[in-house]
Structure 1
Amino acid sequence: MLTKIKMPLPDIMNAALALDDSILDGDQVENLIKFCPTEEDVELLKNYTGDKESLGKCEQFFLELMKVPRVEAKLKVFCFKLQFNNQRADIRKSLYTVDSACEEIRNSNKLKEIMKKILSLGNTLNRGTARGAAVGFRLDSLLKLTDTRATNNKTTLMHYLCKVLDSRSSHLMDFHKDFISLEAASKIQLKALADEQRGVVKGLEKLETELIASENDGIVSEVFCKRLKDFTVAAGAEVRSLTALYTAVENNADGLALYFGEDPAGCPFEQENCKLAALEKKNTLKDADTDGPKSANSINKHGR
């Protein structure tokens, strides 16, 4: 894995500490993280006074990494920086898609007309019963349009509705054209989107924590601190903007549920995202260790 990075070891670390994405890409930085020394590795090498050239490449690499305080945390910060723009753009695109779909559904006059006709059809079928004068219906009642069948067991209520619409209100038959974003929005997993958003917020907190810690490292982290400080300022503004957009889209989705008489608390957006607004900072210091040291393994486990 190390052989994929065709540079002298000191140059690799200089590029990493400079957060230089023109030299190292995400895959290379992730490989560096995989080869960070364990506590046992450090214990075996920290008092080594022999000829470094007699050591294997892996041990030489460990010695280079050991010069940098919290090297694994710094490399994970670099990974976050490398992935940030694409991740932010993907989340923003998904949010815009969900938001557009909500607006399209809310503003479709043709959908409103169809819903009125479905209500009228239901009241006609239930005439003379307690449900024959309903002023509305739950959205899950729409499923009954395909479940309710005629005596021939082939024609459903949906077939009948489409036939009536086609003959009496044909202008409504292309109502689906109002929903440009709906298909794409239906493929977005809201739980995954919530997790991604929380991950970005938490990642920024880790950046800020490592920046504070690195300011006490001395000259070895001088360039790292300067570059990270500049990135953190810019990323912080982006994350705040993204969080505001997320909250607005969440409110829009909840509002759409209320518009149809549904309880937002029973909808996935509310269930999965309620933790986002109050993302805890109590774990910030714990997270600064970037998952802590690995379990002890011998140097030879990494191979030479």
Structure 2
Amino acid sequence: PSFAPKDPMSKNAPHVPPVPPPPAPFANGLSKAGGASLQSPSAGSNGNIPAIPGPPFSAKGRLQSRSSPRSQAQPKKTSLKPYHWLKLTRAMQGSLWAEAQKSDEASKAPEFDMSELESLFSASVPNSDHGGAGGKSNRRTSGPKSDKVQLIDLRRAYNCEIMLTKVKVPLPDLMSSVLALDDSALDVDQVDNLIKFCPTKEEMELLKNYNGDKENLGKCEQFFLELMKVPRVESKLRVFSFKIQFHSQVSDLRNSLNLVNSVAEEIRNSVKLKRIMQTILSLGNALNHGTARGAAIGFRLDSLLKLTDTRARNNKMTLMHYLCKVLAEKLPEVLDFPKDLVSLEASAKIQLKYLAEEMQAISKGLEKVVQELTASENDGPVSENFCKILKEFLGSAEAEVRSLASLYSGVGRNADALTLYFGEDPARCPFEQVVSTLLNFVRMFVRAHEENCKQLEFEKKKAQKEAENEKMKTSAPKKVAENEKIKASVPGKKAENEKMKNSAPKESDHLIQTPIRSSNIN
């Protein structure tokens, strides 16, 4: 059922003293009729307690206050937090809302304790019982918020205010920075956000028809008023955004165009790559001799990637491995051909379609600058500084764009020439496919060559080990014979040593036989 009041400031709404919240949230549910626990008469008789704001509205038959009708004065409305729903203005027949309009259904809805509702869902901090300076301060800070006039859609206004918190320039100085094209005050993201929140024609009409105090308007409305002071503000903001990004956009596009030219030149001038392509042609004709595929004068570029598809009978080597093996033996100087193609990997990330879009965006952006400059010259003093700065920018920008356009047209010719260099049709095999195929071929070639080198190293070590084993086998019988001779000579040497040992005089016998002379005693 609808609880919208007929009269939001009911003249008969009585004075309601404050009610403490329940001990636990909604412990007893929503209060029933007469179930509110009000303060005792003795507590309410204190003359020092100020009047407490009553319920915000009296709903017919529902949200009525249940205190004594003897009120001293008309209560002040308490601002409650909103419930952000999307309301229906018409109840469709057969819907539950149509049923709810019936009197017997409406009586089934529970009654609400407005004091409890205000205590729980008050939009501002409730005043203290003692009306001191703190309470007055709270009223001053929270009061103006509810007094703000909001003309713009709430969601749009909310998003606009969030955006403005990221713009550090005060509102009065904001448009001065825009008209001065001051990129030290605003960056491109901030300017683009300002563009998103330029007022529509309808919003401008709302603000033009507002005759109240403009200080009472919300922050979004005041921001819109600042924008409306400048003729064609959205167009000027777009020019500002273009100017901020111009030099980086031109620089990035120029680098990409130069990269395309560089890779086309590197590929066409690489003698080593040409020798490899000729070797592949000879290899293919040798394999395909006597078949319909033989006697070729060239091959399609994507055939390079099929070199890994043909495997040797032992299944351990592909045609790519064999190509690298032949080149290592016959033309080792071409193996480092990837060093000729230093721009290949970077150029594989470039799409000519996107370069064309960038070129078109820069050209159209410059046209918009010229149009806005022409229109702004009729704005009067408000756009005088804007026109002066824009003319200076336009002078250098036009020269840069002319140079860029010339470079761009040359890139298109070089890209087509690169495709034709491999005997391909630019319409069927565009620049992107050429560099992508070559990059994949380079990677496969390098990997196959590294695998060949590892295999050679492995076979070399294996051969060395086998040679050592063979050497050990041939030297083993000689060592056995020598060991036998040594063993045979050991008994004779042992007997000779024993004989020498027995014939040698003992030292103790020598000492006993030596007479002791008196001269030896001191």
- CA displacement at 1:42 relative to structure 2: 0.7
* Map of 1:204 onto structure 2: 366
One-letter code aligned to 1:210 = E
* Map of 2:266 onto structure 1: 104
For 1:24, what is the secondary structure of its paired residue?
coil
What do the CA deviations read for 1:266-297 (whole angstroms, capped 9, x no partner)?
A: 244599xxxxxxxxxxxxxxxxxxxxxxxxxx
Answer yes or no: is the 8 Å Cα contact 1:108–1:178 preserved in 2. yes
* Map of 1:133 onto structure 2: 295
Among 312, 326, 331, the alignment partner of 1:164 is: 326
| TM-score, normalised via structure 2 length | 0.50
For 2:278, what is the secondary structure of its paired residue?
helix
Answer yes or no: is the 8 Å Cα contact 2:267–2:341 preserved in 1. yes
Answer yes or no: is the 8 Å Cα contact 1:26–1:79 preserved in 2. yes
The alignment status of 1:214 with 2:373, answered yes or no, reads no
One-letter code aligned to 2:222 = Q
What do the CA deviations read for 1:163-211 (whole angstroms, capped 9, x no partner)?
A: 1111221111111010111111112222222221211111111111222
**Alignment CA distance shift 1:270-1:151 (3 Å):** closer
Higher radius of gyration, 1 or 2 = 2
CA distance in 1, matches of 2:347, 2:270: 16
Alignment of 1:1-304 (within 5 A): 1-268=163-430
For 2:410, what is the secondary structure of its paired residue?
helix
For 1:99, what is the secondary structure of its paired residue?
helix
Answer yes or no: is the 8 Å Cα contact 1:254–1:270 preserved in 2. no
For 1:266, what is the secondary structure of its paired residue?
coil
Unpaired runs of at least 5, structure 2 = 1-162, 434-522
Answer yes or no: is the 8 Å Cα contact 1:215–1:221 preserved in 2. yes
- CA displacement at 1:253 relative to structure 2: 1.1
What do the CA deviations read for 1:105-135 (whole angstroms, capped 9, x no partner)?
A: 0100000100110010111111112432222
Please identify which structure carries the higher helix content. 1
For 1:147, what is the secondary structure of its paired residue?
coil
CA RMSD for the aligned pairs?
1.8
- CA displacement at 1:22 relative to structure 2: 2.2
Give % identity: 71
Q: Which has the higher contact order (CA 8 A, sep 6+)?
A: 1
- CA displacement at 1:4 relative to structure 2: 2.2
- Deviating beyond 3 angstroms after TM superposition, the runs of 4 or more aligned structure 1 residues are 151-154, 267-271
- CA displacement at 1:153 relative to structure 2: 4.1
CA distance in 2, matches of 1:161, 1:196: 42
CA distance in 2, matches of 1:232, 1:119: 55
One-letter code aligned to 2:206 = L
- CA displacement at 1:18 relative to structure 2: 1.2
